[in-house]
Structure 1
Amino acid sequence: MPNNAHPEDSETFAIPVLGNPANRRPTTSPPPPAPGYGQPRPPSQPGRPPSPPQGPPRTPARSSVNPVLKWVTVAFGGIAVVALGLMVFGIVQTVSDDPLPVAGKGGQAIEITQADVSGLMKDHSQALTGGDKATYLAPFDDGSAALKAKQDSLFTNLRKVPFAVSEYQILNMDGRAVDHYGAGASASVDVAFVHQVKGADASPVAELYRWTVEKKTADSDLQVTSVGPATPEIPGYGEMTNYPAPWDAYDSMAVTVKPHTVIMTDSDQAADAKRYAPYIEQAAKDNLAVWEAEGPKSGQTMPGFVVTLEKNRKVYKHMYRAGTGQEDDESIAEAGVSIQMPAVAAGGSKARVNLQNGGARIVMDSAESRFTRSDYASSVLEISHHELAHTMVEPLTGPDGQAQLWAVEGFADYMAMRDDPAAASRDVKALKAYYASSAADPFDGKLPLSDDFHSTIDAENSAHYTLGWLAIQFIADKYGEDKALAFVAEQYKNPKAMDAQLTKATGMGTDEFQSAWADYVRKQIS
C-alpha cells in the first residue's frame, strides 16, 4: 500500500503468483596462489574465493529463507548462483471484478478496474512483440521526461533479445480512494514481465516490477507514472524480484547471440563481450556435450545460457538484486553469480508448471583478474565451465530444498577441471599447501558441510571447494562418469536421499563412502 494511502480508503486485491520453489546460488572467482572462485558472501549459498595470477579465488554464498521464499547462492572462484523459490504454480489472478473505490467528481466515480489493468498489460505485451514503440510508450505520456526516456531505451533493449515469450501480467494491485476532489484514481500494480529467452530458458520466467498507474477521468486511458522493482511483500516472492535485468540497467544494451549463449552487456562494453563470447560459448558446448553423452537420460536440463558481463562492481552487484541484502554487502566479492529463476506459466495460465527453475541469469565481473590477465582464455573457460554447470542442472531441482553444497560445488568444479589438468593440479597443490600450513587443522576425513562453504577465509573456502570436487572426481574415477553425473542429478532432485543415492552410485552408504573418499584425498595430498 502506498505511504500516502489511508487504510480506510483502500482496497487490496492480492493475486497469488507464479513459480515453484527453487534455490539461488552464487559463484565467485578463482583463488590466489591457490584454487578458488570468488569471495565470501552473505547467507545464501557459497561461492569460491578470489584467485591469484592463475585464476581468481573462491567465495561462499549464503542462503536466506522466509516462509515462502528461499534463495541460495553458490560461488565458483568468484562465481555465485542464486535461486528463488515460490510456493505457487502459475500466475493466478484471483482479483475481484469489483473496481478499486475512488472519489469522483460531479457524482461520477473515477475507477481503476481489473479489466483496465488487464487491458493495459495486453496492449503493452502486443506492442513489445509487434515492435510498436508508439503504443508501448503511450501509457507513459504523463510521466516524467526521465521515465519516458527510460521506457524508450527499455523497449529498444528488449527488442534486441531473442525472446520466445515476452508478456506482461498482473501480480498484485493495491488501490486507494483519492482524497483530493477530482484528482483522479491511483493504484500500485505489481507486474510480472514473463519471458523466455529462445534457446536458453527451459520455460518462461519472470522479472517483477511495481508500476504506479493513474486515471484522471472516467473516460481516460490508464497512465503509468512510476516504474521500479516490485515490493518485497508480494506473497511467495520474498526480497528477490530479479530486477533490474540488463535491459533495465543499461541505457543502451549490446547483445551477442551464439548457438548456446545469449550475452548481454552495456554497449560501452560490447568489445569485451565479443572478446569473451567464444570462450563462454565453448564452455556451453562442452558442458552440454558431456551431459548428453554421460548424464542420465531422464530429467530436463537448461538448453542454453543467458550471461551478463559487467565490469562496474556497483552495477554488477545491483544486477537482478535490487533491494536485497546482497546488493550492499561489502563482504561479497564473488567473480560471478547465477541467479536461478522459477518456472512460470505464460499467457496468464493457471496450469501447473512442472519445473522448479525455468531459467538462470548469470552475471560475471569482467574486471576480475580471470578476464583481464593476458592469457585470459583458460581462466574464462574455467569460470564459464563452472558457472554454466550450475545453471545447466537447475531444471533438475526438486521441491525439497537445496542439494548438499559439496555435491553442488563439487560438480561445478568437476566440470571446470574435467579437461583442464593444469587447473586440477593447481587446486590439488593448493589443498596440500593449505593442510600443511599452521593456519589449518589436519585433514579430518570428513566431507564439508554446507555451512563450511560460507567461510570468509579464502584459503579455507577454496579447500572446501576442492574437497567437493575430489568427491565427484572420486566417483567418476572409480565408478564411471555416468555414475557421478547420475548421483548429482538425483541429489538435485531429492537432497534428503543422500545415503540411498551414494549407495546406488558406488555401492557404499554415506559413512563408507566418506571413508573411501578420505583415503583418496590423502593420496592426492600426501
Structure 2
Amino acid sequence: MGRHAAPARRRAAGRARTPLWPFLLSFVLIAVAVAGGLALHQSRTEAEQPAAAGPKTPDIDLAARSAAVDKVLKRRSAAVLQDDEAAFLADIDPANQSLVARQRILFTNLKQFGFAKLAYQQLSQQYDDAVTTKYGPSTYLVAVAMTYQIRGIDSVPVRSMLGYTFSERAAGKWTLVSDQDLDKRLPRGSHEEAWDTGDVLVKRAARVLVVVEKGQQQLATKLIGIATSAVKAVSKNWPGGWTGSGVVIALDDKIVRGADYTVPKNAEDALAMATWVYRTLPGEVSGEGERADSYVVINPHNRTRIDARTLAHEFTHVATAPYGAYAPRWLVEGAATYVEFLPMDGAQDLALPKYRQEVRTKYLAKAKSLPADAVFFQHPDSSYPLSWLAVDYLFERFGGTEVATLYQELAALGTNQAERDRIMTEHVGLTEAALFRALKTAAAS
C-alpha cells in the first residue's frame, strides 16, 4: 500500500487441526486509514480559504461561527465530564427526534467510559450540496476531532474523528442538526467507536475495560476474567514488561473501529482484531497517523471461541502497537503467537517441544523462506507456525531483551528489505534469509 495507508495484518483461522496442538486462532487487523479526500487540518479563516474550496456564504461571519461552534463543542465535552445530560443535548435541534435520541444514547455511553480528558476540535469544513439544500444556506458541515483519554486505560490522549452538521437557527445560535452526514467520508479505523453503536454496557477491572451490548452482564463478566488473565500474561512475558491496558469490544455490530466483519472471509475465520488507536490522526502529521495503542474488537460470530490465549495474542499486538508499522509480518505475528503459547495462569500448558518438532517437519521442511509480507495471509496455515518458530528461535538464542529491541527498531525503521537486513544484522547478526537458514540448520541437528 502507499504511504497514506497503514498496512493491514490479518490472522485467519487454519482449517486443519493437529491432535498435538490446540491451535488458538485469532485475527489481527491494523486498520487501514483511507482519507477519502477529507483534509485533516484545522479550519481556516475565510481569507485563507482557496477560491475553489467550495460555495461561500458572505453573509456569515466565519470567525463568529467558528467561535460559536467551539463553544458548543466545549459545552458538550464538559457535559460528559460533569455528567450533565441536559447540557449535552442543549445545542441539538429539538425537532430532529431521531438525532436527539441518538445523542441521548451517545451521552449515556460516553459517561460509562470514565474519561480523564475529553475535548472536541473543529478540523476542516466540508461541502455537500445535498446537505446544504436540506438544512439551508447557513449549513456548516465540519470534520471534528475527538481527543480523549480513558482513565486507567489510555496512557496518553488519543484522537478519533466524527462529522457534525450545524445550522444557524437564530442570530449567532448554531445548532447541531445532524451527526451522520460525513460518516462515509471519514478515515477508516479512526471513527465508528464503540460508543457510537447503540446502547452499550462498560465493565472495568484493573487494566481492563470491556464493552458489550447493554444487558449482557454475563458476557462482560466472562470477558473481564479472561482479559485480566491475558493482561497478566503479556505483562509477565513480553520483554521489559508491559504496563498498558486491554480494551475488549464485543458488540453485535459487525463494523466497529477498524474491524469489519461484514467481509465474508473475516466473518467466517476471524476471532478478534487489534485495531489502532491514534495519537495523531491519519493525515495530520503523517499519512498513516501516529499510533498510541490498540483496542481489540471481537467477531460477533465467534464470540464463544474467545479465551485468555486469544486475548494474550491480541494484547501482544496492543503492547507493540506504539513501536511503528514497519516490522515484517512474520515478526509481528510470530511474537504475538509466541506469547500466546507460553504458560499462562488458568490455561493448560501446551506441548511446545512436540509442536516445535511438528512445525519443523510439516512446514519448515517444505518452505523456501520466511513468510513474506505480500503472501503471508494467503497461506496462514503455514505462515503462523513458521513465524512462531522463527521468534521462538530468536528468544532462545538471543534472549527477550534483544528480540524486543530488534522489534522496536524494525517497526520504526524497517521500511524496505535493505533496512530490515541492516537492522537484523546489527542486532542478531542475521539477515532474514540467514535466519531462515539457521532455522533449517537447527532442525537438521
Asked if TM exceeds 0.5, the reply is yes
Q: Does the alignment pair 1:79 with 2:27?
A: yes
Tell me the alpha carbon deviations over residues 75-104 of structure 1, each in whole angstroms, 9 at most, x when there is no partner.
Answer: xx23223245699xxx85251166984386
Which one-letter code corresponds to 1:119 in the other structure? K
* One of 95, 100, 124 as aligned partner of 2:44: 95
Tell me the alpha carbon deviations over residues 55-82 of structure 1, each in whole angstroms, 9 at most, x when there is no partner.
Answer: 55xxxxxxxxxxxxxxxxxxxx232232
Alignment of 1:73-152 (within 5 A): 77-83=25-31, 93-96=42-45, 101-102=56-57, 113-152=65-104
CA distance in 2, matches of 1:388, 1:34: 24
Match of 2:240 in 1: 295
CA distance in 2, matches of 1:302, 1:501: 26
Q: Does the alignment pair 1:384 with 2:316?
A: no
Specify which structure has the bigger relative contact order, considering alpha-carbon pairs within 8 angstroms and separated by 6 or more residues: 1
* One of 435, 449, 452 as aligned partner of 2:372: 449
* One of 145, 159, 162 as aligned partner of 1:206: 159
Which one-letter code corresponds to 1:463 in the other structure? S
Q: Does the alignment pair 1:191 with 2:144?
A: yes
Do the aligned partners of 2:81 and 2:118 also contact (CA within 8 Å) in 1? yes
Q: Once the 2 structures are TM-superposed, how far is the Cα of residue 21 of structure 1 from its aligned partner?
A: 7.8
Q: Does the alignment pair 1:319 with 2:243?
A: no
Alignment of 1:83-482 (within 5 A): 83=31, 93-96=42-45, 101-102=56-57, 113-174=65-126, 185-219=138-172, 221-228=173-180, 230=182, 239-251=187-199, 253-291=200-238, 294-295=239-240, 303-310=244-251, 312=252, 315=253, 317-321=254-258, 326=260, 328-332=262-266, 333-344=269-280, 356-365=290-299, 367-368=301-302, 372=304, 380-397=307-324, 401-419=325-343, 421-422=349-350, 424=352, 428=356, 431=359, 434-435=362-363, 443-455=366-378, 460-482=379-401
Q: Once the 2 structures are TM-superposed, how far is the Cα of residue 442 of structure 1 from its aligned partner?
A: 5.5
Do the aligned partners of 1:84 and 1:341 also contact (CA within 8 Å) in 2? no
Residue 27 to residue 512, structure 1, CA distance change in 2 (3 Å): closer
Which one-letter code corresponds to 1:330 in the other structure? P
Secondary structure of the residue aligned to 2:257 is coil
Residue 81 to residue 302, structure 1, CA distance change in 2 (3 Å): farther
Matched residues, percent identical? 20
Do the aligned partners of 1:284 and 1:305 also contact (CA within 8 Å) in 2? yes
Q: Once the 2 structures are TM-superposed, how far is the Cα of residue 214 of structure 1 from its aligned partner?
A: 0.8
Secondary structure of the residue aligned to 1:228 is coil
CA distance in 1, matches of 2:27, 2:193: 18
Tell me the alpha carbon deviations over residues 129-186 of structure 1, each in whole angstroms, 9 at most, x when there is no partner.
Answer: 1211111111223352121111101101110112222111112213689998x95611
Which one-letter code corresponds to 1:411 in the other structure? A
CA distance in 1, matches of 2:354, 2:157: 40
Match of 2:52 in 1: none
Residue 156 to residue 272, structure 1, CA distance change in 2 (3 Å): same
Aligned residue pair count: 418
Residue 94 to residue 52, structure 1, CA distance change in 2 (3 Å): farther
Residue 229 to residue 81, structure 1, CA distance change in 2 (3 Å): farther
CA distance in 1, matches of 2:128, 2:329: 46
Which one-letter code corresponds to 2:280 in the other structure? V
CA distance in 1, matches of 2:257, 2:408: 27
Which one-letter code corresponds to 1:361 in the other structure? Y
Do the aligned partners of 2:335 and 2:391 also contact (CA within 8 Å) in 1? yes
Q: Once the 2 structures are TM-superposed, how far is the Cα of residue 384 of structure 1 from its aligned partner?
A: 0.8
More helix by share: 2
Match of 1:38 in 2: none
Do the aligned partners of 2:121 and 2:145 also contact (CA within 8 Å) in 1? yes
Q: Does the alignment pair 1:487 with 2:406?
A: yes
CA distance in 1, matches of 2:384, 2:229: 23
Secondary structure of the residue aligned to 1:484 is helix
TM-score relative to the length of structure 2: 0.81
Q: CA RMSD in A?
A: 3.7
Q: Does the alignment pair 1:500 with 2:422?
A: yes
CA distance in 2, matches of 1:482, 1:321: 31
Q: Once the 2 structures are TM-superposed, how far is the Cα of residue 337 of structure 1 from its aligned partner?
A: 0.7
Which one-letter code corresponds to 1:446 in the other structure? S
**Higher mean C-alpha displacement, 139-148 vs 329-338:** 139-148
Do the aligned partners of 2:43 and 2:124 also contact (CA within 8 Å) in 1? no
Do the aligned partners of 1:81 and 1:390 also contact (CA within 8 Å) in 2? no
Secondary structure of the residue aligned to 2:70 is helix
Secondary structure of the residue aligned to 2:94 is coil
In structure 1, runs of 5+ residues without a counterpart are 1-19, 36-50, 57-76, 374-378, 436-440
CA distance in 1, matches of 2:353, 2:385: 11
Q: Once the 2 structures are TM-superposed, how far is the Cα of residue 217 of structure 1 from its aligned partner?
A: 2.9
